Amino acid sequence: MFTGSAISLSTLVEPDRGVRLVRDCMLCHVAKIPSKVSRRVVPCNRASQLQNAAQESEVVGVIVPPDLEDQVPTDLGLLLAINPLKEALFLHEKLCNTPNFHWQDFPSEIDLSAKIDASACVAEKNVKIGKNTIVHPGAVVLPRSIIGCDCSIGPSTVVGTDAFEVNSFQSPRTIVTQAGGVQIEDNVDIQAKCTIVRATFGGFTRIRRESKLDCQIHVAHDCDIGERVRIAACAELSGRVNIGNDAFVGPNASISNGITVGPKAHITIGAVVIRDVQEGERVSGNFAMDHMALIRHIKEISSNRTNK
């Protein structure tokens, strides 16, 4: 499981890469600003990003270009780099390749009452599966996947695959090493051919108790799905989406990165969501807007066409 280990920034920095450490700090993760992991160092290319980082309580240090040095609060660790994101990914990979830093391996633990189909694949290490959980034919449960009791993992569903985070600074380009995992709480049902992606920089992609996922749903890295959420077939949840308790996501809906969907909200079929959805709000359309406002807009367009 996660160790909570911390390390000094100075231990990771390699000055021959053309970077300069101004202030040291103790960190647990190198991540992006919105990543919800503790004690993180984050890259900031612009002053606006630096302002956002300074407002995050768990940001303990920043990597910025030299022209932003004077704008960094003195209580933050500070590393200067021409390309902050490139350096952040380099440091993240160093942490991921440090044995037992983020995670302590353990033999997979499967409760005796769980039913694992003979054609399913469960990793030999770093998986927990609780009482009475069923893993159906062809399902794959990869390392750092924690599944609770009375769950169902549907046929050909994959739990714990890597996020689509590409390191474009390497040649050839690579997928960024994933530091996090997936946590599925009790009484969760996931039907056929879904993909649940693990968190990128640490922590868990979470699906909380009694939530139900239909077929062919993609849940991207660092999402947090609340309790008793229903998600219909072919929905797409991009990275870091947060969905409140008792919300509903309709078939083929797409939710953009970092969006928060409030409790009891309703996203209708095919909606493309690019802004936060408030508690109890019903949204429709591309791009999604208040459902009744969309209906009035459509009626107005139809009326104008009729009157011409």
Residue positions annotated with a catalytic role: 221
8 A C-beta contact, residue 291 and residue 274: no
In three-state secondary structure terms, 47 is helix
What is the dihedral sign for C-alpha 160, 165, 169, 171?
Answer: positive
Say if CB 61 and CB 79 are below 8 A apart.
yes
Q: State which amino acid sits at residue 81.
A: A
Assign 3-class secondary structure to 236-276: EECCCCEECCCCEECCCCEECCCCEECCCCEECCCCEECCC
Please, what's the b/e burial string for 249-269 (b: 16 or more CB within 10 A of its CB; e: otherwise)? bbbebbbbeebbbbbbbbbbe
* Distance, CA of 210 to CA of 162 (rounded, Å): 25
Instruction: Please name the residue that has the structure tokens 């590393």.
Output: 79
